[in-house]
Amino acid sequence: MERFIIKLLFLPSSHFRGCRMAPENYKRYDLHCHTRYSACSMQSTRDVLKVALKRNLSGLAITDHNQIAGALEAQKLLRHEFKEAFSRKRFELVVGEEILTDRCELLAYYLNGRIRPGNFYEVIDKIREQGAICSIAHPYTVFRKGFRGDISEVKSKVDGLECFNSRNLIPGRNRMAEKMAERLSLGKTAGSDAHSLIEIGRAYTLFSPSLSLKKAIRLRKAFVQGTSFFSPLGFVASAVSKRIR
């Protein structure tokens, strides 16, 4: 009975978007995931990696809030405890960060150092200094931090928009982001925004195995796919995690 109740509480919606006909060999990267290093999440980096590999993801970006410690820890674990996946290069761990700025939250990928919250343009400059790429997180979300202002004003500053976020309460907001990315010729990214293990892999970025993630986003060759996750319990768990820390 307990298992049934848990499944019922975490039942996802049937909302689905993306490239249904993408070839089976396309890489699948979940580009938005949190660990215990985010105040709103309690999942360990070890468990996050186990689930990501079990769900046959090609890659995962750990994007804790204003912090890369979780991503760096996962990178070490991948080398030492998940040697098969690491040695065969069948899985990539992307060091990322969800950075708070005065205009939005930015998802930065391939960082080698933490970037502190701050002015949007200054944060972008710091991302570029590290040779990293970035995407605007959940730009049209409600009840969370979306983008303040006109995205077209900053299109030359970012590489992409997060066009599918599984935690968007209103599915149409994902479609709005996708349309804007197409209109502005920006890359598309997708991620589960997982704060619990059950959410990992619910959304992902698809691209050809002949491309790197960076190239796929910059060349606008990446597609988004996923299911929305509407369980109230998931958001309650995040709130509880914040309160007990």
Strand intervals (E) in 42-159: 59-62, 92-100, 105-109, 133-136
Nearest residue to 135 (alpha-carbon basis) of 118, 116, 114, 110:
110
Residue 43 within a domain: yes
Q: What is the CATH number of the domain that holds 155?
A: 3.20.20.140
Tokens of 63: 């994007």
Specify if 94 maps to a domain.
Answer: yes
Residue 124 CB partners (closer than 8 Å, separation 6+): 106, 134, 157, 158
As for how many domains the chain has, the answer is 1
Which pLDDT score, from 0 to 100, does residue 17 have? 52
Q: Is residue 17 situated within a structural domain?
A: no
Distance CA 71, CA 212 (A): 19
What pLDDT is recorded for position 22?
72
What residue numbers bound the domain in which 50 lies?
Answer: 27-243
Q: H or E segment at 231? A: none
| pTM for the structure as a whole | 0.87
Q: How far apart are CA 192 and CA 33, in angstroms?
A: 7
pLDDT, residue 171, reads 73
pLDDT per residue, tens digit, the chain (245 aa), is: 334 333 433 444 434 455 556 788 999 999 999 999 999 899 999 999 999 999 999 999 999 999 999 999 999 999 999 988 887 788 999 999 999 999 999 999 999 999 999 999 999 999 999 999 999 999 999 877 899 999 999 999 999 999 999 999 887 999 999 999 999 999 999 999 999 999 999 999 999 999 999 999 999 999 999 998 765 555 555 544 454 55
User: What is each CA distance from 154 to 8, 138, 225, in whole angstroms?
Assistant: 41, 15, 25
Residue at 49 is within a domain: yes
* Residue 201 belongs to a domain: yes
Instruction: Give pLDDT, residue 4.
Output: 38
At residue 237, the pLDDT reads 53
